[in-house]
Amino acid sequence: MKILDSIKSPEQLRMIDPNLLPQLCEEIRQTIINTVSKTGGHLGSSLGAVELITALHYVFNTPKDKIVFDTGHQAYAHKILTGRLAKFNTIRKKGGLSGFLKIYESPYDTFGAGHASTALSAALGMAMARDQKKQNHKVVAVVSDGCMTGGLAYEALQNAGQLKPNMLVVLNDNQMFISKRVGALGSFLTKLLTAKYVTAAETEATKFMSNFEIGNNALKLAYRARSILFSGALFAELGFRYYGPVNGNDIAEMTDVLSKIKDIPGPVILHVVTKKGKGYPPAEQKPTKYHGLGIFDAETGETIGKSDKITYTKAFSDALLKLAKEDRNITAITAAMPEGTGLNAFRDEHPDRYYDVGIAEEHAATFAAGLATQGIKPIVAIYSSFSQRCYDQIQQDICLQNLPVVFALDRAGIVGEDGPTHHGVFDLSLFRNIPNLIIAAPSDENELQHLLKTAFDCKKPFILRYPRGSGEGVALDEEMKVLPIGKGVWLKKGKDLTILAIGNRVYPSLEAADLLKKHGLNAGVINMRFAKPLDVKIIKDALKISPNLISVEDNVLAGGFGSAIAETLADNNLQANLLRLGIKDEFVEHGKQAELYEDIGLSAQEIAKAALKKFK
């Protein structure tokens, strides 16, 4: 019988002989590999954090003691050890376990998060609430080195240094973001781990600690880079006691150090070094590829079932390279997501015009604004769900000054298995209210490249949003062209009603029109292309044929594309029977994209059903 099969909770984990922990960690690691190969998910970070998470639950009295994880990319071992082993094979599946942490999934998930840099603020809040209520449990924040580039992390660090609660911050340093880490902090952490600094630190710490009685050798080595040495100076200045770096993949060392350090008063940082992809050679060799992936062969690591169609991300990447070849002022910016946004190709071809700012979307936006004031043509490529972080910068620094910055919002609409933290279903509502801003959504990969050229040509703030995954399989025009701003196109006309569709709901709307024809309803379809400015003329033309309109969008209904149409009808005194289809006032859970579009009423079949119910 496997050791893991007998662990139903951390309470049971804490009862086993510590000599069995290495075997348990290997069983956890193999469970993660076998499961993720069938479900897809975040593999590399979770493999690297197995020993760290096991040690945390072994040493701390969870769930009374609170462990707060940043993002949850690293926390699959946490799910397995906290009573969810039997359901782990459902991870990221519809109705199954979330790929991230959720407070309503388990009492051990103390704080839900899918975006980075939140753990320190949340943990600090928990620590201060504990003190305010005169309680005595421990609070631990587990933060990856990539998350430490987010501004929110430093706001929390400086506040914690001021408040000085008893809390432990575990800096899980796997020397990566999702991609290779960048920036001054990345260089700082790398310097900590070079042979020269580590060797010098060990020598100095050994001399210094020989004068004190503070515990065993592991703790002495953990203390080697405190404020007396260069390594911990940054954190010491912020008011933290700094220990590390220690080997996060050595379960014995981790449990030993955590046991000694957990009762040290005040805010403490423990710098832990882990290997992303630990124990799985393909992931160790290519940690970026195996950060998050779909179904793969566990033996070979090869992806299974990959579509032959070009993805929207690839279409964007290829089009950007073509345009950048013709115009040396085009410059690309990403927030630690070069592979995810397709900017890795631009990075490799134009390194002098490429900037990775780390997990700092706010900075990315205002940095782009600064570039634009000097005649550079910046494009900021980020995920739709991350764009909400820089709303203020887009409004104040870019649109108020009418600066020509292009935002490429990848993963707009339903993203699938990553769930509610990553669905890009709010951007139309977020940004449609900002003056000077143009918002467009292509219906396919060919239209994407034309709209990208249009975005650079118009010399105004521009958002281009497009979905995750494969395109429609259409042929790509050799030459990109500029499309008229704010103009939609008729795809077919119908005497009974007109479907006004945008983005990746255009093709399902065409299919819905074919289904409606079988039921005696003749439906037209317009590809609106632009959510702002809206094509008022084409809406008026549609109303001349029929007063029945349906708006279809992969955004929340409140304040979105359908709302824009309703406003246009009201403002122009136009009489219409409008049915708005989109995402209701709710968070959409995780599952396959097709499953979720069906559930929320935005598949071709559901669009047709809604039309029949309203207009038949």
Highest mean pLDDT among 221-225, 232-236, 267-271: 267-271
Domain boundary among 293, 323, 346: 293
What is the mean predicted confidence (pLDDT) over 226-235?
A: 53
Residue of 276, 278, 453, 468 marked active site: 276
Residue of 93, 389, 468, 529 marked active site: 389
Together in a domain, 229 and 369: no
Domain that residue 334 falls in:
312-465
Instruction: Please give the single-letter amino acid code of residue 152.
Output: L
Q: How confident is the model at residue 201 (pLDDT cuts 50, 70, 90)?
A: very low
Q: Residue 497: beta bridge partners?
A: 523
Q: What is the overall mean pLDDT for the chain? A: 90
Q: How confident is the model at residue 286 (pLDDT cuts 50, 70, 90)?
A: confident
Together in a domain, 285 and 332: no
**For residue 219, what pLDDT is reported?**
47
Together in a domain, 529 and 403: no
> What CATH number does the domain containing 587 carry?
3.40.50.920
> What CATH number does the domain containing 362 carry?
3.40.50.970
**For residue 298, what pLDDT is reported?**
81
477 falls within a domain = no
**For residue 175, what pLDDT is reported?**
63
Tell me how many domains the chain contains.
3
In whole angstroms, give the CA distance from residue 130 to residue 43: 34
Together in a domain, 63 and 96: yes
> Residue 273: is it exposed, middle or buried by C-beta count within 10 angstroms (0-12/13-18/19+)?
buried
CB-CB contact of 448 with 476 (8 Å): no
Together in a domain, 270 and 316: no
Together in a domain, 362 and 404: yes
> Residue 575: is it exposed, middle or buried by C-beta count within 10 angstroms (0-12/13-18/19+)?
exposed
Q: How confident is the model at residue 209 (pLDDT cuts 50, 70, 90)?
A: very low
Together in a domain, 431 and 527: no
582 falls within a domain = yes
Together in a domain, 442 and 579: no
In whole angstroms, give the CA distance from residue 115 to residue 113: 6
**For residue 223, what pLDDT is reported?**
43
Chain segment 417-451, per-residue pLDDT in tens: 999 999 999 999 999 999 999 999 999 999 999 99
What is the mean predicted confidence (pLDDT) over 214-234?
A: 47
The verdict on whether 26 is a catalytic residue reads no
Together in a domain, 526 and 606: yes
Q: Residue 173: beta bridge partners?
A: 273
In whole angstroms, give the CA distance from residue 193 to residue 172: 13
Chain segment 293-335, per-residue pLDDT in tens: 778 778 888 878 677 789 999 999 999 999 999 999 999 999 9
3-state class of 551 per DSSP? Answer: strand
188 falls within a domain = yes
Q: What is the pTM of this model?
A: 0.88
Together in a domain, 83 and 156: yes
What is the mean predicted confidence (pLDDT) over 548-567?
A: 98
Least confident of 148-152, 229-233, 341-345, 474-478: 229-233
Together in a domain, 70 and 33: yes
Together in a domain, 141 and 183: yes
The verdict on whether 51 is a catalytic residue reads no
Residue of 93, 260, 275, 361 marked active site: 361
The verdict on whether 361 is a catalytic residue reads yes
13 falls within a domain = no
Residue 177: pLDDT over 60: no
